[in-house]
Amino acid sequence: MKKWMIGTMTALVVLMMATAACRKKVEPVDAKTLLRTGIDYDKAGDYAEAVRYYREAAQLGLPEAQNNLGVMYKDGQGVDQDYAEAVRWFKEAARQGNVLAQSNLGWMYQSGSGVEQDFGEARRWYLQAACVGHAAAQNNLGTMYRDGQGVTPNEDSARYWFSQAAAKGMQLAQRNLAKLDSVAP
């Protein structure tokens, strides 16, 4: 009888502990943890897993993950290349102020990848990123002013934006600036 009672008591204790564990709230997944995990997979070259984690974090509204997912679609890493899907994710992130996404979205509009080519939209997105110091966006604005893409060609504006990016150490901007200066009257 004692063995039966001890066995029953032990079973009840185990059952109560299991029930208590099941009642604990499951903590929501942290989007930043998902992003970091995605970055780890991305760095390791496991792009399909990176996309999986980026997508989860992006769907939770994390702009960095939305931008990274857009890059994966743009480059066809871990997913089939899909410029329209890349634009969709870049827009989500850019609207939340993600500077990388703003610059990436500018490139998509400038090149006409996934959207109809629109130099005005390209300039708008590049300008948002350039004004907070994004070197690639600054260089791309310089190119637009130098080449007259959606704007009247303007060497002074091109020089200004190339100089801003060059001052941050961007070699392409330094070459663009040197080339512009070598042809200046």
Q: What is the dihedral of CA 65, 71, 76, 78, to 10 degrees?
A: -20
Residue 42 sits in the same domain as residue 111:
no
Note whether residue 10 is domain-resident: no
For residue 91, pLDDT beyond 70: yes
Q: Is pLDDT at 157 greater than 80 in this prediction?
A: yes
20 contact partners, CB below 8 Å, separation of at least 6:
none
- pLDDT at residue 181, rounded to an integer: 86
Give the Cα separation of 96 and 62 in Å (integer): 9
Select from 41, 64, 96 the last residue of a domain. Answer: 96
Rg, the chain, Cα only: 26
Residue in the block written with tokens 């130099």: 119
Tell me the per-residue pLDDT of 71-80, one tens digit each, with 9 for 90 and over. 999 999 999 9
Q: Which residue has the higher pLDDT, 117 or 9?
A: 117
Q: How high is the pLDDT of residue 183?
A: 73
Domain assignment present for residue 140? The answer is yes
| The model's pTM | 0.81
Residue where a domain terminates, one of 40, 64, 96: 96
Sequential DSSP letters for 157-185:
HHHHHHHHHHHTT-HHHHHHHHHHHHH--
- Domain coverage including residue 70: 29-96
CATH code of residue 119: 1.25.40.10
